[in-house]
Amino acid sequence: MSWTKRITKAGEVVSVGEEVEAVVLEIDQVNKKISLGLRQKERNPWEVLMEKYPVATKIKGKVRNMTSYGAFVEIENDIDGMIHVSDMSWTRKINNPNEVLKPGDEVEAIILDINPDQQRISLGLKQCENDPWASIDELYKVGEIVKGKITKIAAFGAFVELSNKIDGLIHISQISREHVERVKDVLQLGEEIEARVIKVDTDERRIGLSIKAATEDFSEEALKAAEEEYTAAIKPGESMIDIGEAFDEAIANNQL
């Protein structure tokens, strides 16, 4: 009955006694049945959309609803495209779409794929921008001093928002030359800090930072030692803990 709306009851579209035009879809002579279609009177709008919006086309739309894995954006005529959480950011792993978007937001996105058969449109938010990690060697170099704001605190360290929306990670072992028992005892959310880049990990897409290394008298030997200490301190998979998970962990540890 409809290409774009989910119809649960025929009464939502037609009523008894109403005259309608329909397309004959099938004639079953054995069972003496004729199958009709209302939506077939018009061309499948999903096919029209595929012609109107080729892959890589930029669209604007409003976020209509959210799920745990993505956000649905209205394109036109009750047809939505979905931005999966994996296509929301180049620089951080989004755990939940509400970290980035909320219903009612107007967004720009790129058409990644249109599948008329499955009536599905895939959109990309991050594809509207260049991937900063493609030129990370030009943006950050081991040994240089950077500034940023602490955005999340976890038991193992603190995340720092640097330029180009890139996150840096200060492991607890790199906060001070003195022993640090709890991160929140030394660092606070929103605090502006200065740190030295001690590692650029392109595989994990993480910048390793050290506050204790951000002194003018820090030697090359000490810098190398800090990088080795940082690498050894990071548990398997720990450097990939995303911002949302870090936040949850911080709450669990009463650190916020």
- Provide the CATH number for the domain around residue 59: 2.40.50.140
* Final residue before a domain boundary, out of 105, 127, 149: 127
In this structure, is residue 166 part of a structural domain? yes
Domain holding 29, by residue range, is 10-41
Indicate the number of domains in the chain. 3
Of the two residues 224 and 199, the one the predictor is more confident about is 199
Arithmetic mean of pLDDT, 182-195: 92
Angstrom distance (rounded) from CA 190 to CA 256 = 12
Q: Which letter does DSSP use for residue 135 in this model?
A: G
Averaged confidence pLDDT in the chain: 84
Residues, the chain: 256
Same domain, 117 and 146: no
The residue among 166, 163, 184, 167 whose CA lies nearest residue 175 is: 184
Of the two residues 237 and 145, the one the predictor is more confident about is 145
Predicted local confidence at residue 227, as pLDDT = 81
Angstrom distance (rounded) from CA 155 to CA 251 = 10
Same domain, 100 and 180: no
The residue among 212, 178, 188, 179 whose CA lies nearest residue 198 is: 212
The residue among 251, 85, 245, 252 whose CA lies nearest residue 159 is: 245
In this structure, is residue 227 part of a structural domain? yes
pLDDT of residue 188 exceeding 50, the answer is yes
Predicted local confidence at residue 27, as pLDDT = 92
Same domain, 82 and 138: no
User: Per residue in 134-161, pLDDT tens?
Assistant: 888 888 998 899 999 998 898 899 999 9
Of the two residues 115 and 242, the one the predictor is more confident about is 115
In this structure, is residue 171 part of a structural domain? yes
Write out the two tokens for 165. 């929306």
| Single-letter amino acid, residue 152 | K
Angstrom distance (rounded) from CA 235 to CA 66 = 33
Arithmetic mean of pLDDT, 179-185: 91
Same domain, 31 and 98: no
Arithmetic mean of pLDDT, 193-215: 88
Query: Contact at 8 Å (CB) between 153 and 223?
Result: no
Same domain, 19 and 106: no
Angstrom distance (rounded) from CA 245 to CA 184 = 17
Predicted local confidence at residue 18, as pLDDT = 85
User: Per residue in 96-147, pLDDT tens?
Assistant: 999 899 999 999 999 999 988 888 899 999 999 999 888 888 889 988 999 9
Of the two residues 82 and 235, the one the predictor is more confident about is 82
Confidence band, pLDDT 50/70/90 cuts, at residue 242: very low
pLDDT of residue 255 exceeding 70, the answer is no
* Final residue before a domain boundary, out of 66, 93, 127: 127
Same domain, 82 and 170: no
The DSSP line for 158-204 is: EEEE-GGG-EEEEEGGGS-SS--S-GGGT--TT-EEEEEEEEEETTT
Query: Contact at 8 Å (CB) between 208 and 240?
Result: no
In this structure, is residue 202 part of a structural domain? yes
Same domain, 217 and 182: yes
Q: Which of 71-80, 170-179, 215-224, 246-255 has the lowest mean pLDDT?
A: 246-255
